[in-house]
Every structure is written in C-alpha cells, then in structure tokens.
Amino acid sequence: MIALLLYRTLADHFLPWVVKFATRMLARSLHMPEPLVHSTGDFVIAQVLAFEHSVGKSLCSYRLAAVLRAWWRGLR
C-alpha cells in the first residue's frame, strides 16, 4: 500500500516536471520556442499515425493472407 502511494505521488508530481523540463531542454537545444516544439511533435505524431493506418490497412494479416491465397490459386 505504501509503495503504491509512493509511486502515485511520484508519478503525479515528478513525471509532469520531467516532461516539461525535457521539452524545455529540447527547445533550447534546437533554438526553438516551446510551443513550436509541442506543435511540431503533434504534427509528426499525426503523420506517423496516418502512415501506419494506411500501411496497416494494406498489410493487415487477414487481407494479406487473402491476397496471398488468391495469388497462389492463380498460379495453379
């Protein structure tokens, strides 16, 4: 019980501070304002998710298996 309380206290108070500090250090090292770092990160995440979803639809295991089965049937 004490460990859980300690963990939640640490996660609630220390983790946001670490994230903010890391963002601030990244912004300083790139010579960019913090809001620009946030928006750039959001844009990159949106682009990666869109790419994964487009590739995921074409490479879904069930769809890929159906395409391979149809291709294999065509060879016989």
Sign of CA dihedral 37, 41, 42, 46: positive
- Has residue 52 got a pLDDT over 80? no
pLDDT cut 90: percent of the chain above it? 12
Taking residues 20-41, what's their average pLDDT? 90
**What residue type is 30 in one-letter code?**
L
pLDDT of residue 25: 93
Are the CB atoms for 37 and 27 separated by under 8 Å?
A: yes
**What residue type is 68 in one-letter code?**
L
- Could you give the 3-state DSSP secondary structure of residue 55? helix
Q: How far is CA 39 from the centre of its chain?
A: 14
Taking residues 24-50, what's their average pLDDT? 88
Name the average pLDDT for the chain.
82
Taking residues 29-39, what's their average pLDDT? 89
